[in-house]
Structure 1
Amino acid sequence: MKSFVTLFLILLTFCVSAQDYPESYICYRTGADITIDGLVSDEEWSKAKWTNKFVDIEGDKKPKPKYKTRVKMLWDENYFYIAAELQEPHIWAKLKQRDTVIFYDNDFEVFIDPQGDNHLYYEFEINALNTIWDLMLVKPYRDGAPAINAWDINGEKSAVKIYGTLNNPNDKDKKWTVEIAFPWKVLKECAYQKRKPKTGEQWRVNFSRVNWDIEIKDGKYAKKLNPETGKTNPEHNWVWSPQGAIAMHQPETWGYVEFTDEIVGTKELTPRIDEDYQAKIELIRLYNLEKKMYKKYGKYFNKITSNYTILIETTSKQFLISIQAASGKTWYINQDSKLWTD
């Protein structure tokens, strides 16, 4: 039995690989007020760079998205600003009730993990009707997360501009654009030292676009059905920073947004590289191995092969893994996939 377990662990070690480094972005300060009207035409927005175009949530192993999506970011003393452009030849939306599951429509989504520890993070979804769903996650769904739907981003401002006509299948549309202003007074609730970021600090952020295959029935848009199963075709998930799986709730693979006090358009900066990223991904790999072993054998194991110097402590229901990273810091992960350092 012991030799089988050892072999099983070795095989799993070679089967799990880390994702390439996530997307990253420098978020500059805005030098003027931004009016939230859905128009990405403010002078300040023209100075900010677009992100790379979105890709499939699973990355390069899937085809590139059919329609282009990209984002810009800025900030000031009061808000974290986001502008998004979503190409779409047929713009439609039905949901009008706040905190409905918005991704049942085509939507744009924002995910923010202020401390980058996989815990206490935010999710925001918006459709072409400017209907929103905002919620807080105590921890990822994979770890039994309670999603706090009653939580609201009080003071949030959003607007949508449609280049075409909404819910009209008789013409061809161009795109819709979204502007969002998230107030720091709310976002800082889950941030380090309960404050907005300082220059040079990075938050983990990702963006997602859900897009459904549609057809026209009786003069209206309808989700396309699979003729063999009679069920709705699965949605497309297009994201800024790929997840490697159809799973947005993996904060460890979200992008890096670095905030700077430099005014947009005045200086060209490059985001710093998180030299401990690969160590964190190794911790996630070890976390996944422990979960698989517990499911198979009913216990956690304190000996797993790794190229890093690691220490594993286990009980009947918990584990704690520490790793020595390139920066010299010791990073930790537990059975709830929380990442932290001393």
Structure 2
Amino acid sequence: MLIAPLLLLLPGSSPPPPPPQYRTEEARGYVCFRAPGPIVVDGRLDEEGWRAIPWTEPFVDIEGDARPRPRFRTRAKMAWDDDFFYVAADLEEPHVWGTLTRHDSVIFRDNDFEVFLDPDGDHHLYGEFEINALNTGWDLLLVKPYRDGGPAVDSWEIPGLVTAVHVRGTLNDPGDEDEGWSLELAFPWGVLEEIARTPCPPPDGDRWRVNFSRVEWQHQVVDGRYRKVPDTREDNWVWSPQGVVDMHRPGYWGDVVFSAAAPDTVAFEPDPSRPARDFLVRVSEAQRVHRQENGRWAASAEDLGIDPAAFPTFRIEATTDGYAASVEAPEAGGGEPRRWTIRQDSRISPEPVSP
């Protein structure tokens, strides 16, 4: 569902200054099945544990349809068992190269693949892992998004994480053309429980917010070695488009549903609360613009130019710290509706609806 139509202007009101960029494409969805066989983390994706597991859609530009399609295909897979949450990816790449070999380097200075995990979907306390073709990794924890004050906890580690890369070609050799590289990551449940704040593996039907990113630099060959093209920004290709060059907007990430069923026997069902939550994310973006323009948070839908009829249960309240905007939304499986609330620091959370 597109987000844009949910912000309706009141008759006679002036449109508020729109956020400079925001996502309008539909978020991605994926069913993460239990692995039907053992997965050996060696970077190759040919074992039984992966064969029946479906691929995600090919990645798109981080800004979505506003930008050209990526030059090279990127796809990912996810699976789980009693010990690990597995992520695999395949990256088409005619020139595989890398320079960083020290753990916790700023890996996106090389071409890389990145994983973002927000298990409870509240936009706070989420994990990030980046890896390059040399199998060098960087793990960090975000207490909240950078634009909400962060911080990023660079000292956070993932004990027991298993990683591997397989290069189909030759690494750091500009004299030939490669096919690409693939990778496997095995995240131990014990560490993910820290940010999930619930027992892991997740119960059947549980949903996580997840996204993947690929950073790709244009290069040239100088003295027989790969070099980035000077003064040229990187490409950012992602699974679920963000609408802006910023991966740290968890409200725009995809939905991953965990299933104990056999692979490819359960279809992805959209989260019935997602339209309301997306609406609140858009309200949050409008609030940021209002504060920049007026030096204060808006205290009403009218201040934001939003028609309350878009969601009849929508309300916004001033708080000692800023504001709280909320709306009622249905739950999966026909459960009792809950009221979702987003705050000025972008944290979103549900509460039972009061009788």
Judge same fold: TM > 0.5, yes or no.
Answer: yes
| Aligned counterpart in structure 1 of residue 38 of structure 2, from 13, 33, 41 | 33
Q: Does the aligned pair in 2 maintain the 1:299–1:317 contact within 8 Å? A: no
Aligned-residue offset at 1:302: 1.2
C-alpha contact 1:109 1:126 (8 A) present in aligned 2: yes
1:285 deviates by 1.5
Identify the residue that residue 320 of structure 1 maps to in structure 2.
324
Residue 108 of structure 1 corresponds to 113
The question of 1:173 aligning with 2:170 is answered no
Matched, 1:139 2:134: no
Q: Does the alignment pair 1:126 with 2:131?
A: yes
Greater displacement, 42-51 / 173-182: 42-51
1:335 pairs with 2:344: yes
Larger mean Cα displacement after TM superposition, 247-256 or 26-35 = 26-35
Q: Which runs of 5+ in 2 are unaligned?
A: 1-11, 332-336
> Distance between the aligned counterparts of 2:329 and 2:17, measured in 1?
22
Distance in 2 between the 1:90 and 1:116 partners? 36
Over 3 Å counting, the alpha-carbon distance change for 1:282 and 1:17 in structure 2 is farther
Output the CA distance in 1 between the equivalents of 2:221 and 2:19.
47
- Matching residue of 1:302: 299
Distance 1:13 1:294 in 2: 12
TM-score (norm 1): 0.91
Deviations 1:145-196 (A, max 9, x none): 1000100011000000011111110011111000110001101111143433
CA contact (8 A) 2:88 2:182 kept: yes
Q: Normalised by the size of structure 2, how large is the TM-score?
A: 0.88
1:271 matched to 2:268? The reply is yes
The one-character-per-residue Cα deviations of 1:89-118 (angstroms, maximum 9, x if unpaired) are 001000011111000000000001000110
Q: How do 1:74-223 and structure 2 match up within 5 A?
A: 74-223=79-228
What percent identity do the matched residue pairs reach?
44
In structure 2, the residue matched to 1:290 is: 287
Query: 1:323 is aligned with what amino acid?
Result: V
Change (3 A) 1:15 1:170: closer
Cα 1:16–1:130, aligned 2, differ >3 Å: closer, same or farther? Answer: closer
**2:19–2:289 CA contact under 8 A, matched in 1:** no
1: distance between equivalents of 2:112 and 2:216? 7
Deviation larger for 301-310 or 77-86: 301-310
Q: What is the Cα-based RMSD across aligned positions, in Å?
A: 1.8
Residue in structure 1 matched with residue 52 of structure 2 by the alignment: 47
Equivalent residue letter for 1:248: M
| Cα separation, 1, equivalents of 2:320 and 2:191 | 38
Kindly provide the CA deviation profile for residues 208-262 of structure 1, in whole angstroms up to 9, marking residues without a partner as x. Answer: 000000011111111012xxxxx2x100000011111111111111111111112
Pick from 57, 64, 72 the counterpart of residue 59 of structure 1: 64
Q: Structure 2: how far apart are the matches of 1:187 and 1:212?
A: 31
- Contact between 1:89 and 1:174, CA under 8 Å: does it hold in 2? yes
Aligned mates of 2:320, 2:121 — CA distance in 1 = 28
Contact 1:189 1:195 in 2 (8 A): no
* TM-fit CA distance, 1:277: 1.1
TM-superposed CA distance for 1:315, in Å, is 4.0
Alignment partners' CA distance in 2, 1:52 and 1:31? 21
Aligned residues, how many?
A: 328
Q: Is contact 2:115-2:128 (8 Å) kept?
A: yes
| Distance (Å, rounded) in 2 between the aligned partners of 1:188 and 1:139 | 17
Q: Is the 8 A contact 2:36 2:48 kept in 1?
A: no
CA distance in 2 between partners of 1:85 and 1:178 (Å): 7
Which amino acid in structure 2 is aligned with residue 318 of structure 1? Answer: G
Aligned AA (1:49): P
Is the 8 Å Cα contact of residues 205 and 254 (structure 1) preserved in structure 2?
yes
Find the residue that maps to 1:110 and give its secondary structure. Answer: strand
> How far does the alpha carbon of each residue in 1:102-151 deviate from its partner, in whole angstroms, 9 at most, with x for none?
00000000001000110110100000000000001011111011000100
Kept after mapping to 1: 8 A contact 2:284/2:342: yes
Contact 2:241 2:252 in 1 (8 A): yes
Q: Could you tell me whether the CA contact under 8 Å between 1:19 and 1:253 is conserved in 2?
A: no
Structure 1: unaligned runs, 5 residues or longer:
1-5, 226-230
**What's the CA shift for 1:12?**
4.0
CA contact (8 A) 2:22 2:242 kept: no
